[in-house]
Chain A
């Protein structure tokens, strides 16, 4: 057996053991227990993808290599009840299918045992199957368009080569017939896009495409009927095929962000304990009604707005304040959905659910904002609209003037102009350039939901940053201790005291000294609410409580043994190592940087000093609404944040960027997601957007020159179908090469 350290990861090492030692993985009872709810009918209805309740899809956190795929797909070897498990690597999901003996709780526990935390995906929120349907349809349309375009070429070339007589007629008619599937089937997305844009009274590139295609078809058909050879089905068909193809590419790249975006929903609250006739029962969150008593365990999120009962509770309100430290809430006070319970469990009576909660109304406004944003028109759409109007006006004017010499000739020359002057550069040059940009970004861990932001990024100069989790690490770290060296005994005492706690201090201790199980466990453990923890460690009374600190950006806690203080630890959130350099570079690039944080004045000032942001632009104690107002006032602005408290501002900003760490709401509201922590990805994104826009502009210049030359030539009568069939692919090739090459930075 190779040494443990010869494996690149746990998955590889586990897979080796499974294959070579036939070691089957056992799942113990306590591991199955947390997933027992998956076997309840209520939850099966919520999650199962099929009618028989045999298939469920899980998001498996942490799939990253080939071994992971194999391991996850071997689930059926470990459990007789599992029929098959199919991994989807790019989406990091596993679809599990059971036979009649199988139980989902067992499958989920197995997934956890092999190293992937399973999160069941709600059937209705599962966008993957919907996206797959869309992709399949588009692929079929492309296949039909490609096959027809190629066959049309096959029949068009003999005609160009000099075929005459009845064969020529038959071949031209064949090209027309082969164009019909494209017109009727493949081009449907353009009709939908153009109609949608017309209804919404916005501009869209689809409209010029539809007009060029339909008028080209109608006029070519008319020429065919009167026996003329001026037909352009070949040029039109390859044009449509190219546009569909490039759009498909762009779509595929953008879907990567879309999937991550929908994860926000997956992490929503799904199960809650409700008291029904004196009994605690676990139910899907959707079944909760106002007035019911619920309990929320430590570490879980509160599913509704409610009034606290019986005992006070400690809540992590970072959703609204962005702050990492928990706050005390007294009995009878109102708590908001989305807050996380730390410390002991909380009992509360639901006062508002769903959209009526503060969280729900935030979600709703985010949706409104994103709809508003998607209607913004980008520069290339405007440019193509102007180009199209010009071409039509020129064609119409020419027809009117030239008709007095020869109606037929005027008609054919205007038609040639309409066809050769298709807005190629915008129709597929722009999506292609954007697609290349989006893909290059995703290689750098930057996922873009809407490629239009690449254009806006180059224009907007105001940049608003969130503090906690964005330019800082977002979690407490041990700053220093008194005395400086901490003995192993004290470390073990602290680890055992904080063993079951979800408090940020407990996490800081575990991160620093390893999450190993302590040697000795504390007896008679008590949580001193809001101050610290206490217990008996090997017969001695140990206590770890916060001392009244003078500085709100730091927490000082003291460990005492038998009443005697022996160790003082100072905790604080720290600036990420790359934040300062990134901010300096951004300043040099001419960005105006603002800091907007929900934290206290002192710690915000402190951090602003450290990273070099002007004090007058470092705003503290900002509510989600304050951040929203700041972004609207700066308009236009780029917003970078990680918390749900940033999400309103992210939705409002011209470019909203969510940073890794924040999961739920901020992702939904953002246009861009950084999979790498910190703000340094922003520099790369700016670079990519600049080179993409440069490419788009270069395409426009190429198109303009081409249109001028081809336009003049067609009006002078030099363009017939053969010249069009040569000219258009050449211009397309120019655009494609120019787009793909980009600036290889």
Chain B
């Protein structure tokens, strides 16, 4: 049963990793506008980026 001593911290770290990923995405503004991307995905071709 000693394996649990290893597994619990690992599970917690994994969970923390996902929470961290969510926080990162939220900070980047991924969830600011939940409606427009649904329209955008229907566009035919991606816009080419221009030099700055």
Contacting B at CB under 8 A, from A48-104, are 66, 69-70, 73-74, 76-77, 80, 83-84, 87-91, 99-100
The answer on a CB contact under 8 Å between B39 and A140 is no
Cα separation A73 to B36 with both chains bound (whole Å): 11
Cα separation A10 to B8 with both chains bound (whole Å): 59
Cα separation A147 to B15 with both chains bound (whole Å): 7
User: Closest chain A residue to B18 by CB distance?
Assistant: A147
Contacts of A69 in B (CB 8 A): 36, 39-40
Asked if A144 is at the interface (CB within 8 A of a chain B CB), the reply is yes
The answer on a CB contact under 8 Å between B47 and A74 is yes
- The distance from the CB of B39 to the nearest CB of chain A, in whole angstroms, is 4
Cα separation A80 to B11 with both chains bound (whole Å): 51
The answer on a CB contact under 8 Å between A88 and B12 is no
B12 contact from A84, A91, A151, Cβ within 8 A? A151
B31 contact from A66, A73, A136, A144, Cβ within 8 A? A136
- The distance from the CB of B49 to the nearest CB of chain A, in whole angstroms, is 8
Cα separation A70 to B29 with both chains bound (whole Å): 21
B19 contact from A80, A88, A100, A143, Cβ within 8 A? A143
The answer on a CB contact under 8 Å between B52 and A143 is no
Cα separation A55 to B32 with both chains bound (whole Å): 18
The answer on a CB contact under 8 Å between B26 and A136 is yes
Known contacts A83-B52, A139-B26, A143-B26; is-contact A132 B42 (Cβ 8 Å): no
User: Closest chain B residue to A68 by CB distance?
Assistant: B39
The answer on a CB contact under 8 Å between A151 and B15 is yes
The answer on a CB contact under 8 Å between B39 and A66 is yes
Cα separation A70 to B52 with both chains bound (whole Å): 22
Give B15-52 as 1s and 0s: 1 = Cβ < 8 Å from A's Cβ atoms: 11011001100110101110110011011100100111
Asked if A610 is at the interface (CB within 8 A of a chain B CB), the reply is no
Name A's interface SS: helix
Known contacts A80-B50, A99-B52; is-contact A132 B40 (Cβ 8 Å): no
Asked if A135 is at the interface (CB within 8 A of a chain B CB), the reply is yes
Known contacts A69-B40, A76-B50, A84-B47; is-contact A140 B33 (Cβ 8 Å): no
User: Closest chain B residue to A170 by CB distance?
Assistant: B8
Known contacts A66-B39, A89-B36; is-contact A77 B47 (Cβ 8 Å): yes
B8 contact from A84, A90, A132, A174, Cβ within 8 A? A174
Asked if A19 is at the interface (CB within 8 A of a chain B CB), the reply is yes
- The distance from the CB of A129 to the nearest CB of chain B, in whole angstroms, is 9
How many residues of chain A have a CB within 8 Å of chain B? 30
Cα separation A489 to B11 with both chains bound (whole Å): 83
- The distance from the CB of A144 to the nearest CB of chain B, in whole angstroms, is 6
User: Closest chain A residue to B4 by CB distance?
Assistant: A167
Cα separation A652 to B12 with both chains bound (whole Å): 53
Contacts of A77 in B (CB 8 A): 47
Cα separation A73 to B16 with both chains bound (whole Å): 37
- The distance from the CB of A156 to the nearest CB of chain B, in whole angstroms, is 14
Contacts of B27 in A (CB 8 A): 136, 140
User: Closest chain A residue to B36 by CB distance?
Assistant: A89
Cα separation A19 to B45 with both chains bound (whole Å): 10
Contacts of B19 in A (CB 8 A): 143-144, 147
Contacts of A89 in B (CB 8 A): 33, 35-36, 39
Cα separation A463 to B46 with both chains bound (whole Å): 53
A90 contact from B22, B23, B36, B44, Cβ within 8 A? B36
Cα separation A174 to B18 with both chains bound (whole Å): 19
Cα separation A4 to B6 with both chains bound (whole Å): 68
Contacting B at CB under 8 A, from A119-135, are 132, 135
Contacts of A80 in B (CB 8 A): 50
Cα separation A70 to B50 with both chains bound (whole Å): 18
Cα separation A84 to B49 with both chains bound (whole Å): 8
The answer on a CB contact under 8 Å between A143 and B23 is yes
The answer on a CB contact under 8 Å between A143 and B12 is no
Contacts of B4 in A (CB 8 A): 167
Q: Name the residue among B4, B16, B18, B39 with the largest chain A CB count within 10 angstroms.
A: B39
Contacting B at CB under 8 A, from A1-39, are 19
Cα separation A69 to B12 with both chains bound (whole Å): 42
Known contacts A76-B50, A89-B39, A135-B32; is-contact A140 B26 (Cβ 8 Å): yes
- The distance from the CB of A158 to the nearest CB of chain B, in whole angstroms, is 10
Contacts of A73 in B (CB 8 A): 40, 43, 47
B22 contact from A99, A135, A143, A174, Cβ within 8 A? A143
Contacts of B8 in A (CB 8 A): 174
Q: Name the residue among B11, B32, B44 with the largest chain A CB count within 10 angstroms.
A: B32
The answer on a CB contact under 8 Å between B12 and A140 is no
Contacts of A167 in B (CB 8 A): 4
Cα separation A167 to B7 with both chains bound (whole Å): 14
Contacts of A132 in B (CB 8 A): 29, 32
Cα separation A144 to B18 with both chains bound (whole Å): 10
User: Closest chain A residue to B40 by CB distance?
Assistant: A69
- The distance from the CB of B2 to the nearest CB of chain A, in whole angstroms, is 11
Cα separation A507 to B12 with both chains bound (whole Å): 68
Cα separation A100 to B44 with both chains bound (whole Å): 28
B35 contact from A90, A135, A143, Cβ within 8 A? A90
Contacts of A147 in B (CB 8 A): 15-16, 18-19
Cα separation A135 to B42 with both chains bound (whole Å): 27
User: Closest chain A residue to B33 by CB distance?
Assistant: A88
Cα separation A89 to B41 with both chains bound (whole Å): 13
User: Closest chain B residue to A89 by CB distance?
Assistant: B36
Cα separation A80 to B52 with both chains bound (whole Å): 11
User: Closest chain A residue to B12 by CB distance?
Assistant: A151
Give A624-645 as 1s and 0s: 1 = Cβ < 8 Å from B's Cβ atoms: 0000000000000000000000
Cα separation A90 to B16 with both chains bound (whole Å): 33
Contacts of A144 in B (CB 8 A): 19, 23
Contacts of A143 in B (CB 8 A): 19, 22-23, 26
Contacts of B50 in A (CB 8 A): 76, 80, 83, 99
Cα separation A85 to B44 with both chains bound (whole Å): 17
Could you list 29 examples of A-B contacts with CB < 8 Å?
A70-B42, A70-B43, A73-B40, A76-B47, A76-B50, A77-B47, A80-B50, A83-B50, A87-B39, A88-B36, A89-B33, A90-B33, A91-B33, A132-B32, A135-B31, A135-B32, A136-B27, A136-B31, A140-B23, A140-B26, A143-B23, A144-B23, A147-B15, A147-B18, A147-B19, A151-B15, A154-B11, A167-B4, A174-B8
Q: A87-B39, A89-B39, A140-B22 are in contact. List 17 more A-B contacts (CB 8 A).
A: A66-B42, A69-B39, A70-B39, A70-B43, A76-B50, A83-B50, A88-B36, A90-B33, A90-B35, A91-B33, A99-B52, A136-B27, A143-B26, A144-B19, A147-B15, A147-B18, A151-B11
The 5 closest A-B pairs by CB, nearest first: A89-B36, A69-B39, A66-B39, A147-B19, A143-B22
Q: Which residues of A approach B to under 8 Å, CB–CB?
A: 19, 66, 69-70, 73-74, 76-77, 80, 83-84, 87-91, 99-100, 132, 135-136, 139-140, 143-144, 147, 151, 154, 167, 174
